[in-house]
Structure 1
Amino acid sequence: MKNYTLLASLAILLLVTACSNEPKPLETIVKGKITVADSLDDSGDYSDIGIAIIKQDSVNAPIDTLFYTQTDVDGNFTGTVNFPAKNYYTLVLSRNNYDLSNLRVILADNDTLTVNAELPDVAESLVLESREHEAMRTLNRVERSFQRVGAYARSGAIPDSQIVDEIEKWSDLYWQVYEAHENTIASYLAAEKAAELLSSLDPEEMLDKIDTALPEDYMISVALNLGKPYIAESKGFEAASNYLDSLAEISTNESAREFVQRNKIQMYFDSSRVRQAKELLDKYEKNYTGPASKKWARTIRYDLNYLAPGVSAPEFSFITMDGDTVNNSRLEGTTYILEISPVANYEYQNDYDRTLIINEIYKNYGLEIFTIPLDQSEVTVNAFFEERRKAWSVAKIGTFDVQQVIQKFNVIQVPTRLLIDKNGVLIRKYERGEFDDVIQGLNQAFREVNAPS
């Protein structure tokens, strides 16, 4: 089941905080009643229970307390909280300097959040009431039903002839959630799901649904993830570029506009339009000067200068677990992939079976794959391959400089993969979710021998 709570938190947070401009603070009322079970305290005095709402952007980031109050003798509390964006936040219940429970709550502008619970069994007694939470409950009910139907379909209980009708029906049901709870987190998650279900079935209808839900910030990300790839594939690069321009134009949020500009620069870069990408980056740096913007610009400029399609691959050298020395000169005349990642990384492990398939297909055309593990322990690497078939060469820990590898190949996200042709020229650098694009690069590399599509 898709974790809508996590998706909402991460995706909206990405659009709002990844860029440099601080949004205008929003405001909502928080109220409720927190009591204590008689088995724990039969005094009837429920005062001094602390209610805090905090914001923490990452595990190591500082905690920002947005709201704090205490209950009265009857357990009641009320107050107003200011917050940066519609999102999930952590609500902490405490008493006598002990944190008793952490809850995930949605804050939205001009909403009212009511929190009722009884200590110590908060999970069983908790009742959250607000427009946002009611919408999320509706979405979760639809999602649970959809997952059950999906299980039936996978078991063969639904005939293939009915699958298309089922997809259309569930797309409509998700869209009804969007229309019934418009302008909530749940509504935009529902709109995304409705569009996603139509992406292979009726992409033009998918675009219509995305357009209807725009220009809300979250839907900008949906347009980038679903709308832009379809337009690029069906209508060409220029149409996709114009689509990004239209997204930036209709957005009312400067941070979302910046996010679109980043996506456009990356698209030009990935399409080997390096000169135009550098021109766009020059404009970006003039318009966005915050610390996060500067950091992103430095990262992409390094790739444009040293890791762009068509440049010679950086020098590297390592010894494999089998004792072979591998470096640029040794690989002249060979098309190869360099994988750079901890093998303990979840995404790397999730991709591994697909990498095996790619290796089996393209080794017939001369492809070689090399993995440079960034794990701290050789034991970790050995354990990984004890459970899996090691079908290509892996660098032995200690035979390469980890920091030098990270710096030379500008490893910001893992896994990072680099496809390099037989002349030692970089075809493209791929990061994390771009794994599927590797096949397109391989087809380009082996086009002269009619690589399979």
Structure 2
Amino acid sequence: MKKITLLAALTLLLLTVACSNRSEVKKTLVTGTITVADSIDSSGDFSGIGVTIVKRDSSNAPIDTLFHTLTDQSGAFEGEVSFPNRNYYPMIISRNNNDLASFRVILAENDTLRVNAQLPNIRETLTLDSNEHEAMQTLNRVDRSFQRVGAFIMSGAVPDSQILDETKKWSELYWQVYEAHENTMASYLAAEKSAELLGNWDSDAMMARIDEVLPADYMFSVALQLGKPYIAQSEGFDEASDYLDSLIRISENEEVTEFIVRDKIQMYFDSSRIKEAKDLLDNYEQDYSDSPSSKKWIRRIRYDLNYLAPGVTAPDFSFVTMEGDTVSNEKLKGSTYIIEITPLANFEYQNDYDRTMVISEIYKNYGLNIFTIPLDQSEVTVNAFFDERRKAWPVAKLGSFDVQDVIQKFNVVQVPTRILIDKDGVVIRKYERNEFSEVIQGLNRTFNDSNSPS
């Protein structure tokens, strides 16, 4: 029942606001020294070096300057920076109006950040000193060591009898990072990793770790990613719904609460409880429709509930394949199929293509067909994709379909979008991005009555 798009947004939100009040502007002190190597400037005058911290909400958003100052003759600088949330922010070092280097710094309220570096070799000489950076350095050291052990395990160098002990050990090491650096970005990431490792062998202990960190904001995303699926699988849908209600009750952050409510609506939708999902959406609209982003989400999910919910007849479509065959929903009556809608240039789609091919090979014996509608702008891009890969199922030819009509009918917001449709032309499920485990579950349910391949 994990919903990737909601959880990705929630995780990003919670990592930046964990244990903080978003309504207040945060402030902290930034200080340090930027000097220049004698080989570049032997004058000893390091004044005028620019130190700037900026914020950019998205790749298309304008850049906001949060902090800017110039170094004095010794290269020293100091000042107070105001920022919206604890997070990584770009720091830019410049001289004579030329940007010379940039790197990311963590800003957290009441956590003095000290920066020291020397031009021109900023990367080699840079030191960042703060509680947040110290915690992140500790976490990174544990991560690197764990990755080395993981590589040994994958290579077969660790006996199977020792893998469980290794997993327990590393779960404890990550938990020690959490305890040593509480209320830092690194601490919540460490707690998440500790709980994730516990989930591989002791789900009750995993739930206890999650509960211990709650109601810290970031841990709600962990509860949705790890806790909710465990309860749904072990105790059932109703208990998972009750678990979400319990998270809503203990949340102290209105934005966090809103995302949990969204997750609950999506869970009911994904589980074909459409009437209940619509009722929950009506309640959500009453509580959150003042926000433009909430209104946008309401429009999106309401369209899916009305036109793409499980059990609803799929929208009409038609296209011509690259081989010249005409495909439409009417012609596909009597067969079960997946429609993929995505740019072939999409990184996630490319990464998952081999997994899709495995699904195709397994389930084509049960009558499954797959069709891809590419959203790329150029045939060159489509052809280049298949220069490196086998084309295992029909692909729509660019120009044989209306792109905007496809996007609108299938409410394509995240790509890849996949729609599983049964032999009667009825939607089984809509899947977004890399929900492969759920695609497989849907296929298994669909072909459950087939005891052997056709």
SS at match of 2:113: strand
Q: TM-score, normalised by structure 1?
A: 0.94
Other-structure match for 2:23: 23
Other-structure match for 1:359: 360
Other-structure match for 1:148: 148
Residues 385-411 of structure 1 deviation map (CA, whole Å, 9 limit, x = unaligned): 222221111111111111111111010
Which aligned segments of 4 or more residues in structure 1 are displaced greater than 4 angstroms?
Answer: 7-10, 14-17
Between the aligned partners of 2:374 and 2:286, the Cα distance in structure 1 is 38
Cα distance, 1:286 vs. partner? 1.7
Aligned length: 443
Other-structure match for 2:430: 429
Whether contact under 8 Å (1:8, 1:189) holds in the other structure is: no
Q: Relative to structure 1, is the Cα distance of residues 244 and 264 closer, same or farther in structure 2, using a 3 angstrom cutoff?
A: same
Question: Is 2:344 the counterpart of 1:343?
Answer: yes
Other-structure match for 2:242: 242
The 5 Å alignment of 1:329-340 reads: 329-340=330-341
Residues 179-224 of structure 1 deviation map (CA, whole Å, 9 limit, x = unaligned): 1111111111111111111222111111111111112222111111
SS at match of 1:115: strand
Between the aligned partners of 1:249 and 1:52, the Cα distance in structure 2 is 41
Whether contact under 8 Å (2:248, 2:257) holds in the other structure is: yes
Other-structure match for 1:258: 258
Between the aligned partners of 2:12 and 2:31, the Cα distance in structure 1 is 25
Whether contact under 8 Å (1:135, 1:184) holds in the other structure is: yes
Gaps of 5+ in 1: 1-6
Cα distance, 1:12 vs. partner? 3.4
Q: Relative to structure 1, is the Cα distance of residues 15 and 260 closer, same or farther in structure 2, using a 3 angstrom cutoff?
A: farther
CA RMSD after TM alignment: 1.8
What amino acid is aligned across from residue 435 of structure 2 in structure 1? Answer: E
Between the aligned partners of 2:277 and 2:418, the Cα distance in structure 1 is 21
SS at match of 1:249: helix
Cα distance, 1:23 vs. partner? 3.1
Whether contact under 8 Å (2:15, 2:185) holds in the other structure is: no
Other-structure match for 1:225: 225
Other-structure match for 2:43: 43
Whether contact under 8 Å (1:69, 1:77) holds in the other structure is: yes
Between the aligned partners of 1:170 and 1:450, the Cα distance in structure 2 is 43
Other-structure match for 1:4: none
Cα distance, 1:372 vs. partner? 0.6
Between the aligned partners of 1:450 and 1:302, the Cα distance in structure 2 is 36
What amino acid is aligned across from residue 82 of structure 1 in structure 2? Answer: S
What amino acid is aligned across from residue 40 of structure 2 in structure 1? Answer: L
Other-structure match for 2:116: 116
Other-structure match for 1:389: 390
Between the aligned partners of 1:239 and 1:400, the Cα distance in structure 2 is 44
Whether contact under 8 Å (1:69, 1:79) holds in the other structure is: yes
Between the aligned partners of 1:204 and 1:434, the Cα distance in structure 2 is 25
Identical-pair percentage: 69
Q: Relative to structure 1, is the Cα distance of residues 39 and 451 closer, same or farther in structure 2, using a 3 angstrom cutoff?
A: farther
Cα distance, 1:451 vs. partner? 7.5
Q: Relative to structure 1, is the Cα distance of residues 15 and 151 closer, same or farther in structure 2, using a 3 angstrom cutoff?
A: closer
Other-structure match for 1:279: 279
SS at match of 1:393: coil
SS at match of 2:331: helix
What amino acid is aligned across from residue 290 of structure 1 in structure 2? Answer: S
Q: TM-score, normalised by structure 2?
A: 0.94
What amino acid is aligned across from residue 416 of structure 2 in structure 1? Answer: P
Q: Relative to structure 1, is the Cα distance of residues 243 and 132 closer, same or farther in structure 2, using a 3 angstrom cutoff?
A: same
Whether contact under 8 Å (1:9, 1:88) holds in the other structure is: no
Q: Relative to structure 1, is the Cα distance of residues 176 and 411 closer, same or farther in structure 2, using a 3 angstrom cutoff?
A: same
